Structure 1
Amino acid sequence: MENCIAQSELSLDEIIMLARDNSLSAQQAENRKDNRLGNYMKFKSNFYPQLSLNGALPDFSRSIDPVTQPDGTQKFIARKYANSFLRLSLNQTIAATGGQIYLESRINRIDNMSDETNGGTTSYSGQPLSIGFNQPIFTYNWLKWSKKIEPIRLEEAKKSYYEEMEWVAWKATDLYFNLMIQQINYRIADKNLKNSQNIRDKKAKKQRLSESDQLQMELNIMKAQRDVASARLNADNAMLNLKTFIGLPESEDDFKLSIPESIPEFEINSGQAVKYAKRNRQRFLSFKRRKIEAERDVAKAKAESNLDLYLSASFGLTQQSDYLEGIYQDPQDQQRLKLGFKIPVADFGRRKANLQTAIANQKLVESSVEQDRIKFEQEIVVLVSQFPVLISKVKITKKANEIASKRFRIAKWQYVNQKISSTDYDMALQEKDMATREYVKALKGYWMAYYDLRMKTLYDFEANRDMTSL
């Protein structure tokens, strides 16, 4: 990068390289890609076993509580105790069913410090091992749908990163040519000023200036000085905009830009371009994701309007003892089975309305996706159709610029030698300046379209390869 900046003149490729390496937009694209990758890894963790250890060491309490007596009456008794526990659990989610199985081991300890005369008592209970599962039935399985959607989101993130980097190149190209145009305007204005001063001096030396010509020349010089000041300000602003975008400090030395005289020419078929765009673009993937999300919302609304059942069961070993080792000696069986349900009885049409809304939204999404798809393909076709015109325009304006420059050199000699009037000279000067600007504008139009096509297809037509495979 340092070698690139040290040059007095930078090319379009060098500016784009700097933008991709240093610009805030490129860094943000990188950060967004990392963030989306982190979200996907977080999602994937739902399908891996989760091992956790939790507990309380201790949970101390000192209070006066009502305690039920053997005869059934209650009596307020001062109590002081500590309740401690440790639980180690291993959980595994089942994506296909939305259920969960688990293994668990647990130890409980109670320190009763109320009877201080006997030093208090300690007791233990525990579940050395238990296995169980929780399974919802007829309910919305968010894991099943997430497993369909999240991989698409990940692919969108990857493709979006490449699109953003191509946007960086596109934006750098825009600012590059904006600066080039302003630098050309400044060079033209400065050269026009020097030409006006040179012609005045030559005519004055040959004593060929009438009073009217002298006044006209002075006005021309003043106008040229004004144009130089305005062009200089515009060039400084364009330079600052480009430096800011590509990540160079304002204190960095200014540089000139070289005109990219040669442009790549290649055959582009609109059908192939659309094919590449469908294969590579994040936007086309989003069409698929939006349809799946709409189906998911309908499935969720249907599940919420039906009978909700859930089944849980567990089997394990348990024991209690006055000492820790005792809970592992001759443990007893422990079983648990539960079938719960929730039946919607009367919600005044809420669930039905939610389902109808989800179905209507699904139809809206499908029509919107189809409309966006058509627009998506049309953008590619229109852009491809512009390329022959843009290439032709570059060639024509380049030739026109060469002719106008040659004509101006002849007109300048003729004006100095009083072969033509100042009006003819001014006309030749204006045509030369306009031809130069039109040539640079034609170059800008081509290169902007070039990087726009790369951004919209993520395909390198020069190298004939997908940019997502780099």
Structure 2
Amino acid sequence: MRLNYYQVLLSTSLLTVLFLVPFCKVNAQQQFSLDQIIRLARDNSLSAQQAENKKENRYGSYLKYKSNFYPQLSLEGALPDFSRAIDPVTQPDGTQKFIPRSFANSYLGLKLKQTISATGGEIYLESQITRIDNLAEEEGGSTTSYSGNPLVLGFYQPIFTHNWLKWSKKIEPIRYQEAEKKYDEELEWIAWKATDLYFNLMIEQINYRIAQKNLKSSTNILEKSEENTNVSESEKLQMELSIMKAQSDVASAELRADNAMLRLKTFIGLSESDKSFDLEIPKEIPEFKIDDKIAVKYAKKNRQRYLSFKRRKLEAERDVARAKAESNLDLYLTGSFGLTQQADNLPGVYENPQNQQRVRLGFVIPVADFGRRKANLQTAIANQKLVESSVAQDEINFEQEIVVLTKQFPILVNKVKTTNKANEIAEKRFNLSHKQYMRQKISATDYNLALQEKDKSTREYLKALKDYWLAYYDLRMKTLYDFEGNMSMIGM
């Protein structure tokens, strides 16, 4: 059955309407907006789970760091430590004699210690008890004795050495703040990546529909041309070639759309077996003014990267301090004060205990290390200078990156508007060319040129939309500030 001119025109017009509103329900498929896809990605994607896991991991590390400044209570012991051996034993006259011995030691101690971050030292309080069982082979020869320290107060204080606690107190809180800000940035990166995949799929779906529409249009025109005796054989052959190319384009576009659908499904946490869906073209784009100075201000306040500049300089400063400390005299002071006693029974250990004191001043003086300490110090100082210059350059790049993005944003807004207008004009021109070709007022070549221009303008409009939304979420990611709602996104 042949279609007349009005049937061809009607079918083409319907296809045009279908393209202009491409996401009304097709084949009863579910539709998703950009916001819905982003929410799915943030809730279900593996990237979101990994971001949450990294945040929890960093929180665990922070709690471990904090525990260094709290008292630590420990119970240790040996129950029992048995030994049977032939050991050298010193005799009353000073000589030694090998004697078989069997004995068991039992030990139990409770210790409470507290680090002092200001000095890098440690104080402790402990109580301990020791039991010795001499297991003689002859009958009645076994003996038991006890010794203990009911209460001992002690300390350990390094002098002129590197105080790692003081530096960790400066650096670790910054690391934790970085982790919190990094989590917020990763959520915005997920939004950016979901947007990228969203528009990749949308473009491929549109390309597939364009290919289908072009194939249908070319087929209808060929059918009409066969009824017209004035159409040359060359034009008919050209239309047949166009149909063959359109068929190939449909197959290729369908494959690309399927692959883009799979990539998006995988990222947002859907399985391959889940039903495919259509995507809505964002009908409106948010427009707002961005002051580059304000953007830089919030980027410095909110971004993990800017905090890392401070941490890197502190770490370099710490390494220099450690290298200086290791190149000098290593001096430490220890002491303990408490009570001690020994007895043949356990209660006797706690009766009339005697005083016990111990003080020790130890040192290590570097004499000859063939320049190792000096080389370590020079390396640390050189690395500090390198870090300071690198951070200074990174800060400049950091600010320039934000400024360039804010300057680019109005251009992208304008590009969306102009490409949208160009797309509407190209669509009207194609419709006009279609009517003229059906009336044999233009050649097939002119018709194909109008078709190609329409397809090109449609793709340029979608690309402009993609560039805008990627820049939109890139700006949010790099400032952690919602310029549309005028609010910070830290902790949201």
Report the counterpart of residue 84 of structure 1 in structure 2: 106
How far, CA to CA, are the matches of 2:242 and 2:46 in structure 1?
44
Which of 402, 408, 412 aligns to 1:390? It is 412
Give me the whole-angstrom Cα distance separating, in 2, the residues matched to 1:222 and 1:300. Answer: 75
Q: How far apart are the structure 1 equivalents of 2:283 and 2:136?
A: 94
2:152 matched to which residue of 1?
130
CA distance in 2, matches of 1:362, 1:212: 77
Does the 8 Å contact 1:98/1:141 carry over to 2? yes
Which residue matches 1:323? 345
Could you say which residue in structure 1 is the equivalent of 2:169?
147
CA deviation after TM superposition for structure 1 residue 115, in Å: 4.0
For these two proteins, the number of residue pairs brought into alignment is: 465
| Correspondence for 1:299 | 321
Could you say which residue in structure 2 is the equivalent of 1:342?
364
3-state DSSP class of the match of 1:132?
strand
Distance (Å, rounded) in 2 between the aligned partners of 1:299 and 1:220: 76
2:24 is the alignment partner of 1:12: no
Mapping for residues 256-405 of structure 1, pairs under 5 Å: 256-405=278-427
Structure 2: distance between partners of 1:184 and 1:452:
25
Partner of 2:24: none
Shift of 1:206: 5.1
Q: How far did residue 204 of structure 1 move?
A: 3.0
In structure 2, the residue corresponding to 1:57 is in which secondary structure? strand
**Counterpart-to-counterpart distance in 2, 1:254 and 1:175:** 14
**1:37 counterpart letter in structure 2:** Y
Residue 202 of structure 1, CA deviation: 2.8
Calculate the aligned-residue CA RMSD, in Å: 1.2
SS at match of 1:338: strand
Contact between 1:81 and 1:113, CA under 8 Å: does it hold in 2? yes
Q: Pick one of 163, 175, 181 that aligns with 2:185.
A: 163
Deviations 1:188-243 (A, max 9, x none): 00100011111122333455544333322221111100000111111111111111
Query: Within 2, Cα distance between the matches of 1:339 and 1:425?
Result: 98
Aligned amino acid, residue 289 of structure 2: E
Give the Cα–Cα distance (whole angstroms) in 2 for the partners of residues 345 and 405 of structure 1.
Answer: 87
2:282 aligned partner, one-letter code: P
Q: How many angstroms does 1:136 deviate by?
A: 0.4
- Does the alignment pair 1:66 with 2:77? no
Separation in 1 of the partners of 2:458 and 2:32?
A: 19
Equivalent-residue separation in structure 2 for 1:354 and 1:420 (angstroms)? 82
The alpha carbon displacement at 1:392 in A equals 0.5
The answer to whether the 8 Å contact 1:108/1:125 transfers is: yes
Query: Do the aligned partners of 2:338 and 2:355 also contact (CA within 8 Å) in 1?
Result: yes
In 2: Cα distance, 1:346 partner to 1:197 partner: 92
Name whichever of 157-166 and 118-127 sits farther off: 118-127
Write the deviation string for residues 92-111 of structure 1: whole angstroms up to 9, x where unpaired. 00000000000000010111
Match of 2:60 in 1: 38
User: CA contact under 8 A between 1:78 and 1:114: conserved in structure 2?
Assistant: no
Aligned to 2:270: 248
- In the alignment, the residues of structure 1 paired with residue 131 and residue 61 of structure 2 have an alpha-carbon distance, to the nearest angstrom, of 40
1:458 is aligned to 480
The C-alpha deviation readout for 1:27-67, integer Å capped at 9, x for no partner, is 11111111111001000000000000010100111111111
For 1:186, give the aligned amino acid. Y
Are residues 350 and 68 of structure 1, via their aligned partners in 2, closer, same or farther at CA, if it must alter by over 3 Å? same
State how 1:194-273 maps to structure 2 within 5 Å: 194-205=216-227, 209-273=231-295
Question: In structure 2, how many angstroms separate the alpha carbons of the residues matched to 1:44 and 1:445?
Answer: 45
- 3-state SS of the aligned residue for 1:317? strand
SS of match in other structure, 2:398:
helix
Report SS of the residue matched to 2:406: helix
Secondary structure of 2:139's partner? Answer: helix
Query: Which residue matches 1:3?
Result: none
Cα displacement string for residues 234-262 of structure 1 (whole angstroms, at most 9, x for unaligned residues): 11111111111111101111111111121
Question: Could you tell me the percent identity over the aligned residues?
Answer: 74
5+ residue gaps, structure 2, are 1-27
Question: Which one-letter code corresponds to 1:93 in the other structure?
Answer: T
CA distance in 2, matches of 1:348, 1:212: 91
User: Would you say the 8 A contact 1:91–1:103 is kept in 2?
Assistant: yes
Letter in 1 for 2:106: S
CA distance in 1, matches of 2:222, 2:156: 97
Tell whether 2:468 aligns with 1:427: no
Q: Distance in 2 between matches of 1:243 and 1:42?
A: 38
Provide the C-alpha distance between the structure 2 equivalents of 1:297 and 1:139, rounded to a whole number of angstroms: 13
Q: Could you tell me how far 1:20 is from its partner in structure 2?
A: 0.7
Distance 1:398 1:125 in 2: 92
1-structure distance, mates of 2:29, 2:221 = 34
Structure-2-length-normalised TM-score: 0.93
**1:73 Cα deviation from its structure 2 partner:** 1.4
Instruction: Label 1:208 to 1:118 Cα distance change in 2 as closer, same or farther (>3 A).
Output: farther
Normalising by structure 1, what TM-score? Answer: 0.97
Residue aligning to 1:441: 463
State the AA in 2 paired with 1:375. Answer: N
Deviations 1:62-121 (A, max 9, x none): 111111111111111111111010010000000000000000000101111124411511
Question: How many Å apart are 1:7 and its aligned residue?
Answer: 6.2
Say which of 91, 97, 113 aligns to 2:119.
Answer: 97
Does the Cα contact within 8 Å between 2:225 and 2:231 map onto a contact in 1?
Answer: yes
Matched, 1:192 2:205: no
Contact residue 137 and residue 308 of structure 1 kept, 8 A: yes
